[in-house]
């Protein structure tokens, strides 16, 4: 490359039109997946204290959100349930209830806007009284017994009309078992988005408030979620999930893990998503509320950063707000 003063990189930054011409990365509503919390208590919506701007929605309000997603050009919604504490138990048996909140919400949303993809989390934590993603015995998570329950949960979701099954539990072997269970009931067309590289993160705090599992959670999730210090392990997780039949993979959390997103996308070249989790949302909102950062710019910059790192899409609580801006 020629040196200064022949080369001046600022020449290309002079105008909006030159900046637009050399822009490498795009961000559109098609890159967003709207993460949405539903609750049977919400009437029709109730705020989440630690996530200003995010409400828990009733199934009817979630159906309205699905119509809104369609109008905004958001391709899919990822659903997370806040369950009545009275329905929680050690086995998380409400997770497989065909008449429960999740099934109701899926049906209401698919009726309202069938063109919008519905993604459901597979994990027991919203439904267990101990707040863990799996079954426990003497304080130990039972991997294989949990996977059986996860298959039941996934089948319930598929029967209710869910388009994408998204295991977020981090049990070993669950993607392959869920794929087999879905296929055995004729759900070959149902996709699997695996939370392949999911870290034991402090950034999930507000989410656990949103779904009401934080009060319940005993201990931590370090025996199943990954150590934030590791990257090779993330590649092994992703490789196994692909071998077991994952159509898409996810990295979670988002901004602190952009190196993982880049490495996964480069290594496997398959549809790769990233979850901008509740704590990341809350940090931007809290700083913006204090006037310490420009919240709108920080939101769009973070979303663009995910795309630049290689993500095909971003799961984010900002989805409707960002889509409105991106649509002009």
Binding residues for Mg(2+): 237
**Among the listed residues 207, 257, 306, 318, the single contact to ligand PBG using CB under 6 A:** 207
For position 150 contacting ligand PBG by CB under 6 A, the verdict is no
Q: Which residue has the tokens 């065909």?
A: 98
Q: Is 70 or 84 the residue whose CB approaches ligand PBG more closely?
A: 84
CA distance 298 to 276: 13
Closest distance of CB 11 from ligand PBG, Å:
42
For position 168 contacting ligand PBG by CB under 6 A, the verdict is yes
**Is 198 a residue of the active site?**
yes
Which of 88, 110, 252, 265 does the annotation list as catalytic?
A: 252
Q: Is 123 or 164 the residue whose CB approaches ligand PBG more closely?
A: 123
**Among the listed residues 55, 125, 209, 237, the single contact to ligand PBG using CB under 6 A:** 125
For ligand PBG, the nearest residue by Cβ is 207
Q: Is 169 or 237 the residue whose CB approaches ligand PBG more closely?
A: 169
3-state helix, strand, coil in the chain (%, to 5): 45, 20, 35
DSSP H helical ranges for 194-294: 205-210, 232-243, 258-268, 278-289
Closest distance of CB 109 from ligand PBG, Å:
18
Contact 150, 172 (CB under 8 A): no
For position 55 contacting ligand PBG by CB under 6 A, the verdict is no
Which of 110, 198, 221, 265 does the annotation list as catalytic?
A: 198
Residues in the chain: 328
Residues numbered 25 to 44 that lie near ligand PBG (CB under 6 A) are none
Using left for φ > 0, alpha for ψ between -120 and 50, and beta otherwise, residue 53 falls in left
**Is 218 a residue of the active site?**
no
**Nearest of 55, 252, 218 to residue 131 by alpha carbon:** 218
Read off φ and ψ for residue 106, nearest 5 degrees.
-60, -50
- List, in order, residues 6 or more apart from 20 with CB less than 8 Å away: none
CA distance 208 to 37: 11
Residues numbered 272 to 291 that lie near ligand PBG (CB under 6 A) are 277-278
Q: Is 30 or 214 the residue whose CB approaches ligand PBG more closely?
A: 214
For ligand PBG, the binding residues (CB under 6 A) are 121, 123, 125, 133, 168-169, 204, 207-208, 221, 277-278
């Amino acid at each position: 490359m020629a040196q200064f003063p022949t080369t001046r990189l600022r020449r290309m930054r002079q105008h909006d039109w030159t900046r637009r011409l050399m822009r490498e990365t795009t961000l559109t509503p098609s890159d967003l997946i709207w993460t949405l919390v539903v609750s049977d208590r919400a009437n029709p919506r109730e705020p989440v204290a630690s996530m200003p701007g995010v409400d828990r929605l009733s199934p009817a309000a979630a159906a309205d959100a699905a119509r809104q997603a369609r109008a905004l050009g958001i391709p899919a919604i990822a659903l997370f349930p806040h369950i009545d504490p009275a329905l929680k138990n050690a086995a998380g048996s409400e997770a497989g209830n065909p008449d429960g909140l999740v099934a109701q919400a899926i049906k209401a949303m698919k009726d309202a806007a069938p063109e919008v993809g519905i993604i459901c989390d597979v994990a027991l934590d919203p439904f267990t009284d101990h707040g863990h993603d799996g079954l426990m015995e003497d304080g130990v998570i039972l991997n294989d017994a949990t996977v059986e329950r996860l298959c039941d949960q996934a089948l319930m979701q598929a029967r209710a009309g869910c388009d994408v099954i998204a295991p977020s539990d981090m049990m070993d072997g669950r993607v392959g078992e869920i794929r087999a269970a879905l296929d055995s009931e004729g759900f070959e067309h149902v996709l699997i988005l695996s939370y392949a590289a999911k870290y034991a993160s402090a950034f999930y705090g507000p989410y656990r408030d949103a779904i009401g599992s934080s009060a319940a959670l005993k201990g931590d999730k370090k025996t199943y979620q990954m150590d934030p210090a590791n990257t090779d392990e993330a590649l092994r997780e992703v490789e196994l999930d692909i071998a077991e039949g994952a159509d898409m993979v996810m990295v979670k959390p988002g901004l602190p893990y952009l190196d993982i997103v880049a490495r996964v996308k480069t290594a496997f070249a398959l549809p790769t998503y990233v979850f901008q989790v509740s704590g990341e949302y809350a940090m931007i909102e809290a700083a913006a509320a204090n006037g310490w950062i420009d919240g709108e710019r920080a939101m769009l910059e973070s979303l663009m950063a995910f795309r630049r790192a290689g993500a095909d899409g971003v799961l984010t609580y900002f989805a409707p707000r960002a889509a409105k801006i991106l649509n002009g």
